Amino acid sequence: MAAIIDPVETFRAEARELFEQLETTLLDIEANPSDKDLIDTAFRALHTIKGSGAMFGFDAASAFTHHVENAFDLVRKGKLSATKELVEVALTAKDHMRTLIEQPEAAPFGRSEAILAQLAGIIGITPDMAVPGKNAKLQPEPAAERATYRIHFKLAQNAMAMGANPLLLLKELRELGDCTIITDTDGIPALEEMDPSGCYLAWNALLSTDQPASAIDDVFMFVIDDMELTVEAIEPESKRLGEILVERHAVSADALDKALVQQPRLGAMLVKEGLVSTDKVAAALAEQKHLKVEVEKANKVEAADIRVQASRLDELMDQVGELVIAQARLRQLANAGSDIHLKALVEEIERLSSELRDTTMGIRMVPIGSLFSRFRRLVRDLSKELGKEIQLTTSGEETELDKTVIERLYDPLVHLIRNSLDHGIESPEKREAHGKARQGTIHLSATHSGAQVLISIKDDGNGIDPERVHAKAEENGLIQPGAELSESELFQLILQPGFSTAAKVTSVSGRGVGMDVVKRAIDQLRGTIDIASTLGEGSDMTLRLPLTLAIIDGLLIRVGDGRYVIPLSAVEECVELTAEDDLRTTGRDFLNIRDETVPFLRLKALFNIATPAEPYQKVVIVSTGENRVGLVVDQIIGDYQTVIKSLSKIHSSVQTFSGATILGDGTVALIIDVPRLIDFGQACEPQKKAS
């Protein structure tokens, strides 16, 4: 059974996108207040929120937004400047609009009036005029020259199914001035051909108004796609019925002349002769009485995208995962037999399932720019709170990442950016004293690197003091006094729980909570964090993340009687463990790989497997960043499309494995957590057991 789509939730999802677009545009306006395109974009977003909100019953949000929209209408007409104060209030208003739509019951009492009073002060009117419901306009506009417009419009047949309400459009038209509306029923089909949810009516309207012609366009702004709309200005002069019918293309001039010869009432005669419908004559008669205008046509934008619920994408990914597992089982059965035709069919199914997997994963990929844009407001507001001058720059916004990864990245990135703002970048006075520009910079970037995405948070602040970190680590008992650590190892201590070098606790940071949360979140995403810093010049934190969390390419191995999967993105190469290397007893095990020493771990010992060593063992060299470790295995079975299944809460303390997968024969293979094993191999004696 098809899922029922809730139009209100659909509107809320669209509103979230509009709010993100509006926030980005307002921040751009703050930097470029004279950019007319930005002003128009902000106005259109506000108009759409207002109109759609009214359509779906969010009257309070619509009434509130209407006043903010009017303010930006004054800006786009050159009657008001886009000052920083106006942008500040508009950002606050945007937050309130979002609350009124997403959680109207949580909106603070009197918040609307307070914000609009601020807005009224900027525009230069009395606060009383800004209270919703008292006036429709923030500031009366000088009356334009009165004009009359002839309007014809017909909505798309599926308009009402998509949430449009023609009655609200007609209501908005009437509010513009003196309006006469006639319904056109010519498009109604026979009953058996009618779709109950379809919209078959059209409307002819005559509008006399002192509003500009653009006001008519604004009425239809958020339903313009695929609709018919004609607006033309006409002179308010007396015209004969026949002249109006010809102008409206309701009847040809030749047919009119033939009818006029017979002289009875023209409208009745044309209807009787079947030359024109009753509705068209009624519309022409209404125009004859009233008269009306406009001549702008709306830009048609073809919809290239469709909106899909995230839960449906998750379901699709799960089903593709099950298909991959079934395909692996089928391949195993085919390999056990000798039927050539079956094997050929299995290869074809394998190809198709692989393409379906890639396509489904592609659907889930989202440009990371949608995440980056959310931090502009954070940097702006916290900079003001901390008394600093900081700008956020970005690059690589087009880099795509799995939507689930992006959703779970927000909190870790917030912590890292807040730390750069508070600890990293100095006050303007200190920066000037050190020969730097008063304004600091935080740069967010993203780039693909094989099967990973690298996200960098770089600032040009004071950097991290290694000596201070060392002293704090000793004080917290994280290292032994006098212990020698590389700079990279030392900086990794910042990620330990409770570690903080902040001199004082602020509303932003300093409690030692945050960086360990970042590490846990990145670990859960099967990623790593690299930290680099130069004292006095700044810091660079790089997150290394997998493209997706659902299906990966893996290397299937055997250790004893058990089978395991190593993510293929972490595998550099496979070599044989020679008898000489195997017999070394130096306390630590090392391989010489092209004159480079690489430590190796015996997985059989780590996993407490008691079976004797096999004669021809293999070493899989894995890496993350600059660190490399060899993993000794009994057999390399081959590549394997791995559908990742999370471990249960009971096994949450097991850190050697990041998940599990189901093999073709129905048995379970654990997925090795490569970053943790590399850390273990770099720092521990080989006899110790991994947890």
Question: Which listed residue (23, 70, 96, 419) is catalytic?
Answer: 419
Indicate which residue of 30, 69, 287, 294 is catalytic: 69
Helix 7-31, helix 84-102: angle, nearest 10: 170
Sign of the C-alpha dihedral, residues 107, 108, 110, 112? negative
- Which residues are within 8 A (CB) of 366 and not within 5 positions of it... i.e. 6 or more apart? 400, 401, 402, 403, 406
Would you call 419 a catalytic residue per the annotation?
A: yes
Which pair of tokens denotes residue 383?
């900079």
Alpha carbon distance 227, 30 (integer Å): 35
Check residue 210 and report its DSSP letter: S
Inter-residue contact 597 to 590 (CB < 8 Å): yes
Residues facing 627 on adjacent strands: 624
Pairing between β-strand 400-402 and β-strand 365-367 as defined by DSSP bridges: antiparallel
DSSP state for residue 620 in the 8-state scheme: E
Q: What CA–CA distance (Å, rounded) separates 549 from 674?
A: 15
The dihedral formed by the CA atoms of 493, 486, 589 and 573, expressed in degrees to the nearest 10: 90
Q: How do strand 571-576 and strand 551-559 relate by DSSP bridges?
A: unpaired
The residues, any chain, with a CB within 8 Å of residue 141's CB and separated by 6 or more, are: none
| Residue in 23, 30, 47, 470 annotated catalytic | 47
DSSP conformation letters of 304-363: ------HHHHHHHHHHHHHHHHHHHHHHHHHHHS--HHHHHHHHHHHHHHHHHHHHHHHH
Given a contact cutoff of 8 angstroms between Cβ atoms, the answer to whether 592 and 642 are in contact is: no
- Does the active-site annotation cover 47? yes
Concerning whether 69 is annotated as a catalytic residue, the answer is yes
- Residues 567 and 552 sit within 8 Å (Cβ to Cβ): yes
What DSSP designation does 442 have?
Answer: E
Edge-to-edge strand ranges of the sheet holding 147-154: 178-184, 202-209, 147-154, 228-234
Closest of 438, 455, 446 to residue 391, by C-alpha: 438
Enzyme catalytic residues = 47, 69, 419
